[in-house]
Chain A
Amino acid sequence: MPAVCFYFQVHQPIRLRRFSAFDIGKNSNYFDDDMNRFYMERAAKKCYLPTNKKLMELIDAHNGRFKVSFSLSGVFLEQLEMFCPDVLESFQRLVDTGNVEVFNETYYHSLAYLISKRDFVDQVRMHRKKIRSALGIRANVFRNTEAMYSNDIAKLVEELGYKAIIAEGLQHVLDWRSANYLYRAKGSGIPVFLRNFKMSDDIAFRFSTRDWEEWPLTADKFASWLSRADGQVVNLFMDYETFGEHQWAETGIFDFLHHLPSECLKHPNLSFMTISEALSTFSPVGDFDVPHLSSWADVHRDLSAWLENKMQVQAFEEVKRLESAINKRKNRHLLHTWRKLLTSDHFYYMCTKWFADGDVHKYFNYYDTPYDAFLNYMNILTDLKSRIQ
């Protein structure tokens, strides 16, 4: 009797403006408000507004039997307030239905855990505050940037008072076991919800792939797969932009979403749950042991999308090196600026392995090449350095 847990990740980085070597020392504005407004408004029109409206309809239509979870990054919420207050209101209305759970993450959707525990904890606290002020709720569940996960991260998250954590259903860790069960993080024991990557990616990546043998994916077909699934929970975790941006409206993704709840509820063994509900319904069945960092990105499920090539490593090492100097300055604006540079997307843009998972990288990269992304970032960092010293 599997429960279906939808969780949507909602995030937009604060994009950097073009900053050339000749701007160093002359200009301290690193962020491109016009571009950020453009991306936010485009995503609002194509995804956030229509999908929120659809979810609202579905929750109403099914008398509360349809439920979903969200995680919204702090920098996303910040940009909503600036550029799209109507979208923020629609998220608030969704939360008010009581059928929508919201998680915590690092405020900056950042690689903070790799900077220091201290900065990670600070960013989590910032996010907690932001979620409370923007949506009026306190989160019980934590997800780290791009589902970056290890036993140590789970332990730290438990110490911060969270009741559960999100991770990728890592095949090499699970081995013969199914991701459709609740597990305990090795060491800390905090319950871990694992993404069913096969079924999540059927929607997120393959939905409109015409040479996929299951195309076209219909709601009744997907519901029948769900009803035949083993285990306690099927965790369908994906970027929210799947609806309308990654999969355009023309692909039929909204029709799919429209019909999915009713098709699922036709199967007596299926129900929708938020993560917290699933947590109180099921008990962990075993240990999930991840001694090394992993993520949900790409085929490798490691950190290589952000920190593999020499440019990514150098850029990250240099921004990391500024931590203590930034903290010594005790200047909130400088700290905020530095942390915005820790957002994972900046490193993603420098990724050079465009091949297997390539298209996803390319679609989201507003730079011509990863080299431009690196150079722009380094120029900004050079300027920031000169302002700190």
Chain B
Amino acid sequence: MKILMFGWEFPPFNTGGLGTHCYGLTKALHGKDVDVTFVMPRFGKDFKHGFIKIIHAEEGKFVEIKSSLTPYIPSYDVKFISRNGDTDEPYGRDFLSDVNKYTELAARAVAREDCSVIHCHDWMTFPVGIKVKHEKKKPLVVTVHSTEFDRSPLSPNPWISHIEWKGMYEADRIITVSNYMKKRIMDKYNVPGGKITVIYNSVEADLYGGDRVDFGLDERVVLFLGRLTIQKGADYLLRAAKKVLEVEKDVRFIFVGTGHMLPELINLSIDLGISEHVIFTGYQESIAEYYRMADVYVMPSVSEPFGIVALEAMASGLPVIISKQSGCSEIMRHAMKVDFWDVDSMADKVLGVLSYGAMREEMSRNGLKEIKGINWGKTAEQTIGVYSSFGGA
């Protein structure tokens, strides 16, 4: 079976679950004798994506296309990264032409590649997927890791959402990373449910865990890890932090990651009077050791298609509190769940984990047991099931 796969990111990075997914999936597919040609854009040096070549280049074939897109930034945030410094139009001519260029170059790069199925990950690769589908007359599978409605809840970009709709329309099969996501695309894009297969993300558990890293302070550590965007709900955790600190003083809240909300969040922590208990580390390349210095991980996402980070935290042996508005809550039985807006309950759960060793131990022990059943091999098997459903492979 030969798969032509279009993506754009590979770990280690922290802009979204997509890169982690592509890495874990292609590696596991490789282990099951599926031949994958992976096509992805190459980002400018300023985005520190020079690691791509390190990753399993020997296991798959990598075709790199030069491009400047970073699709996990909310559309109204693009002005921060726009290449030509023109910040007035979030998605200017420049952006549009970048996608077009990627589509052209990627299609040309695979012109002579043979394949049985074409597989695309998220909107930016949908145009090339559609193009190649019609050229090669092969079935198209698209995996939807998130939609424009998740990334830019305040002002979804109609141009992007149209590409998303078109990709799902043209696809022969759609994969979503959770039921939560399945319902969302049925709701937002009118996709018939029967066209969608839910295949959950996984985690490479072996990469996590290990001895605790001493933070150097005699305080308990609550960890947030993710982009500082509205979607990730860091502001709700800050409000919960205020409540936690009213009861327990020796607690430190660490926010790992960056994003357009950073200044706002710093201001909020000052306004709440808790800034000395809060640390914003900014973007960090190596995150595994943050898990090892924390006592509890909180994922307060407003809308989270899956949330692989929560699996990583669990694989690190941390008690995990996740928002109910997340895809991973569907498979993590040993995580506590809370509505992202329910700040009281979030604070109560954080306090509970910090106060009761029995609860911490049970969550950690059962979480580690649970994570053993979640692996990319399973994800790959289910994905192969989708590939095989077209027959003739």
Interface residues of A (CB under 8 A from B): 18, 20-22, 309-311, 313-314, 352, 354, 368-372, 374-375, 378-379
Residues of A within 8 A of B347 (CB): 20-22
- B243 and A22 contacting across the interface, CB-CB below 8 Å: yes
Whether B292 sits at the interface, judged by CB under 8 Å, is no
Q: Which of the four size classes fits the interface of chain B?
A: 20 to 34
Residues of B within 8 A of A313 (CB): 358
Distance of A368 Cα from B345 Cα, bound (Å)? 13
- A314 and B336 contacting across the interface, CB-CB below 8 Å: no
- A375 and B247 contacting across the interface, CB-CB below 8 Å: no
Distance of A120 Cα from B22 Cα, bound (Å)? 60
- A379 and B348 contacting across the interface, CB-CB below 8 Å: yes
User: Taking the nearest CB of chain B, how far is it from the CB of A122, in angstroms?
Assistant: 29
Distance of A171 Cα from B355 Cα, bound (Å)? 41
8 Å CB interface, B237-260 against A: 243, 247
Distance of A208 Cα from B278 Cα, bound (Å)? 54
8 Å CB interface, B334-376 against A: 334-337, 344-345, 347-349, 351-352, 355-359, 361-363, 366
Q: A352-B334, A368-B336, A369-B334 are in contact. Are A310 and B362 (CB under 8 A)?
A: yes
Whether B333 sits at the interface, judged by CB under 8 Å, is yes
- B358 and A22 contacting across the interface, CB-CB below 8 Å: no
Distance of A18 Cα from B337 Cα, bound (Å)? 14
Task: Name the residue among B243, B337, B356, B357 with the largest chain A CB count within 10 angstroms.
Answer: B356
User: What 0/1 readout, one digit per residue, does chain B (271-310) give for beta carbons within 8 Å of chain A?
Assistant: 0000000000000000000000000000000000000000
Distance of A374 Cα from B358 Cα, bound (Å)? 10
The 10 closest A-B pairs by CB, nearest first: A310-B358, A375-B352, A20-B348, A314-B358, A311-B358, A21-B348, A21-B351, A371-B336, A368-B337, A352-B366
8 Å CB interface, B169-194 against A: none
Q: A354-B333, A368-B336, A368-B337 are in contact. Are A311 and B362 (CB under 8 A)?
A: yes
User: Taking the nearest CB of chain B, how far is it from the CB of A349, in angstroms?
Assistant: 13
- A378 and B348 contacting across the interface, CB-CB below 8 Å: no
Residues of A within 8 A of B356 (CB): 311, 314, 374-375, 378
Q: How many A-B residue pairs have CB under 8 A?
A: 63
Q: A20-B345, A21-B247, A21-B348 are in contact. Are A369 and B337 (CB under 8 A)?
A: yes
Distance of A268 Cα from B108 Cα, bound (Å)? 86
Residues of A within 8 A of B357 (CB): 310
Distance of A334 Cα from B63 Cα, bound (Å)? 72
Distance of A372 Cα from B352 Cα, bound (Å)? 9
Partner of B359, one of A20, A21, A22, A375: A375
Distance of A375 Cα from B333 Cα, bound (Å)? 16
Residues of A within 8 A of B335 (CB): 369
User: Taking the nearest CB of chain A, how far is it from the CB of B322, in angstroms?
Assistant: 11
User: Taking the nearest CB of chain A, how far is it from the CB of B297, in angstroms?
Assistant: 14
- A371 and B348 contacting across the interface, CB-CB below 8 Å: no
- A374 and B359 contacting across the interface, CB-CB below 8 Å: yes
Q: Can you list 18 contacts pairing A with B, beta carbon distance less than 8 Å?
A: A20-B348, A21-B348, A22-B344, A309-B358, A309-B362, A310-B357, A310-B362, A311-B362, A313-B358, A369-B333, A370-B362, A371-B349, A371-B363, A374-B352, A374-B356, A375-B352, A378-B355, A379-B348
- B362 and A352 contacting across the interface, CB-CB below 8 Å: yes
Residues of B within 8 A of A375 (CB): 348-349, 352, 356, 359
Residues of B within 8 A of A352 (CB): 334, 362, 366
Distance of A369 Cα from B329 Cα, bound (Å)? 11
- B243 and A371 contacting across the interface, CB-CB below 8 Å: no
- A22 and B348 contacting across the interface, CB-CB below 8 Å: yes
User: What 0/1 readout, one digit per residue, does chain B (318-335) give for beta carbons within 8 Å of chain A?
Assistant: 000000000000000111
